[in-house]
Amino acid sequence: MRSHSIAVLPGDGVGPEVTGAALEVLDAAQEAFGFTTERTDVPLGADHYLQTGELLTAEMVTRLREHDAILFGAIGSPRVPPGVLERGVILALRGAMQQAINLRPVRLYPGVPTPIAGLTPQRCDLVIVRENTEGAYVAQGSAVHRDTPAWTAVQESVNTWYAVERAVDFAYRLASVRRGRLTLCHKTNVLVEAGALWSAVVEEVGTRYPDVETDYVHVDAMCMHLPVSPERFDVVVTDNLFGDIVTDLGAVLQGGLGVAASGNLNLGSQAPSMFEPIHGSAPDIAGRGWANPAGACLSLAMMLGDLGEGEAAAAVESATAHVLADLPALAGEGMGASTAELGSRIATAVGEGSAPAVEGSLMSQLAQVMSA
């Protein structure tokens, strides 16, 4: 029987709640599709930091590298200054595990309400491939004369051919098993040096994928096109910081942060990939059962795809979409069920195989790309 080793990092706030729901779904998936998992809880987050002063230590990195995947909840607490946990845990994990790609699907499932008037599921099915290791998003920066009128801050943005090429090549591979369209999103008319490097990489790598159509859009224009004509896009590849911004806009299209998933992908076998809903820890609603676990469950589906469990991945995606379609609201007390109850509904749908299949499942497409 196939077995996978999973590190579970529930984190802070609603993180443990949505992760618990996702693990119940994982139980149902492994029973239905004939595999097992060994799970290790890892106490990274605000409580651990406040008790020990530790963020991501070398010893934790060594332990995490022994696993096949990481399932992450959410991190952040008002008890810890902004940036400490985010940089010391999330960004540190992405770097230590060489997670070259942040993959975020933007898909509107049937029955899910969206604030974009006239938007239909048929028009909204794209994937954003975000370079995950470079650019201003991860730069340490420096400052002098802090808290004086002469305060000067420098925030570097470094782009290397190596990192950009591996992101672009992955995006082309994904486009080749989807609808065969790739869009580079950048700001080449202002960030001319970085833009020239990205454009040159896309041009060169594109020669390896002659069946994939390539185009370009400025990041500011993307913010206009995405809500109005998302059907224009299939696979979008972009810089780390641009990707962070554009994917939150994409989450609005698909119904909100509560239904948005992400994967931080290690493209080799050096270390595990990490999967997490893109919402925050939401400490104001923690413990109330108001957090939608759909993002965590869809992140679980991405994890299963990465592990090569394509059938299970597609089933979890279909079950989550099926349950979402029955909700009166997508967040808060008005969801019609608690976080745990929704997790149980999704798990039941996976176990029974009762959910209609989602056509063109990204989760099973990911299994194709990662196993190639």
Which residues are catalytically annotated? Answer: 137, 187, 220, 244, 248
Place of tokens 């098993």: 177
Question: Quick one: tokens of 27?
Answer: 């139980």
Place of tokens 């413990």: 287
Helix, strand, coil shares of the chain, percent, nearest 5, are 45, 20, 35
Please report which residue ranges of the chain form alpha helices under DSSP H.
Answer: 15-33, 46-52, 58-64, 84-85, 92-96, 161-177, 192-206, 219-228, 240-253, 294-306, 310-324, 339-352, 362-371
Backbone angles phi and psi of 103, in degrees to 5: -105, 120
User: Could you tell me the CA-to-CA distances from 97 to 164, 237, 255 in Å, in that order?
Assistant: 17, 21, 30
Place of tokens 């109005």: 228
Render 231-296 in DSSP notation, one character per residue: GG-SEEEE-HHHHHHHHHHHHHHTT-GGG-EEEEE-SSSSS-EEEEESS---TTTTTTT-S--HHH
Distance (Å, whole) CA 113 – CA 111 = 6
Vertex 161 angle, CA 159 and 166, to 5°: 105
Distance (Å, whole) CA 83 – CA 91 = 10
Distance (Å, whole) CA 248 – CA 243 = 9
CA 34 to chain centre: 26
* Residue among 280, 308, 314 at smallest CA distance from 295: 280
Question: Quick one: tokens of 174?
Answer: 């994904």
